[in-house]
Amino acid sequence: MEADIARVLYHESTILSRLDELAARITADYREKELTVVAILNGSFIFMADLLRRVPLPLQLDSWSVSSYHGTKTSGTIQFRQTQIADVRGRHVLLLDDILDSGLTLHAIRDRMEKESGAASVRSCVLLRKMVPRTCPVEADYVGFDIPDEFVVGYGLDYNERYRNLPYIGILTEEAIRRNAL
Ligand code: IMP
Ligand code: MG
């Protein structure tokens, strides 16, 4: 797996220090509020675990499973895999996603949450934000790192379901992209 990485973008220690800062802001912002964190799976599972252990609030956790990507390109449509969503009426919702790219995923989820859930507020937190024009008008309220327009893997992020368990974020070699293409 290591040999498939052309370049490491963020080492684990760098990611964790940044999570300390993000978690401190989130903790301060939600101190007196009823917080429900909604993690967008699969991509945010490591981010979620590392971030939430740094937020000492009595929060509740739910997760939504969605998919939009095939290979290194967005498919353009969002598929929701779960049928039931947790009751967040009157609660403050913080969406967690691995990466904000075209904005399609976050926009669809935010929209559904704002229209259907009765939440008191909806904000979003992403580990990575790609510096590209957004297809959808959506912004993240908390951002770990701004990255250039490159396809990244690791720390939860996949390429055709591989590499999620790499402890750092990196860029694949051309050879690995070809070999693992669908
Ligand atoms: P968006 O809908 O285009 O904003 O893309 C968001 C989703 O696409 C993320 O939750 C990821 O699952 C996936 N994605 C976007 N960019 C990358 C990447 O560079 N590496 C791995 N997955 C990505
Ligand atoms: Mg993905």
pLDDT at 70: 66
In ligand 1, which atom is closest to the CA atom of 78? 2
Dist CA 137 CA 41 (whole Å): 22
Q: 126-166, pLDDT tens digit by residue?
A: 999 999 999 888 999 999 999 999 999 999 999 999 999 99
Q: 52-93, pLDDT tens digit by residue?
A: 999 999 999 999 998 776 677 766 778 887 767 789 999 999
pLDDT at 83: 65
What sign has the CA pseudo-torsion 48, 172, 180, 109?
A: positive
Q: Is the pLDDT of residue 167 over 90?
A: yes
* Residue 170 belongs to a domain: no
* Residue 178 belongs to a domain: no
Residues in contact with ligand 1 by the CB-under-6-Å rule are 43, 68-69, 74, 97-106, 151-153, 157-158
pLDDT at 54: 98
Dist CA 35 CA 59 (whole Å): 5
pLDDT at 22: 98
- Considering only CA atoms, which residue is closest to atom 15 of ligand 1? 101
Which residues are catalytic, by number?
101
Ligand 1 pocket test target in 157, 159, 161 with most atoms within 8 Å of CB: 157
- Considering only CA atoms, which residue is closest to atom 8 of ligand 1? 69
Angle, helix 45-52 to helix 12-29, in steps of 10 degrees: 60
DSSP letter at 67? E
* Residue 180 belongs to a domain: no
Its domain, for residue 123, covers: 12-148
Three-class SS string for 96-154?
A: EEEEECCCHHHHHHHHHHHHHCCCCEEEEEEEEEECCCCCCCCCCCEEEEEECCCCEEE
* Residue 113 belongs to a domain: yes
Q: What is the CATH number of the domain that holds 112?
A: 3.40.50.2020
Q: 82-124, pLDDT tens digit by residue?
A: 767 789 999 999 999 999 999 999 999 999 999 999 999 999 9
Q: 10-53, pLDDT tens digit by residue?
A: 999 999 999 999 999 999 999 999 999 999 999 999 999 999 99
Domain tally, the chain: 1
pLDDT tier, 182 (very low <50, low <70, confident <90, very high otherwise): confident
Dist CA 91 CA 118 (whole Å): 8
pLDDT at 121: 97
Q: Any idea which residue has 């979620």 for tokens? A: 48
CB 93 within 8 A of CB 113: yes
* Residue 96 belongs to a domain: yes
Ligand nearest to the Cα of 157, by number? 1
H/E element holding 174? helix 174-179
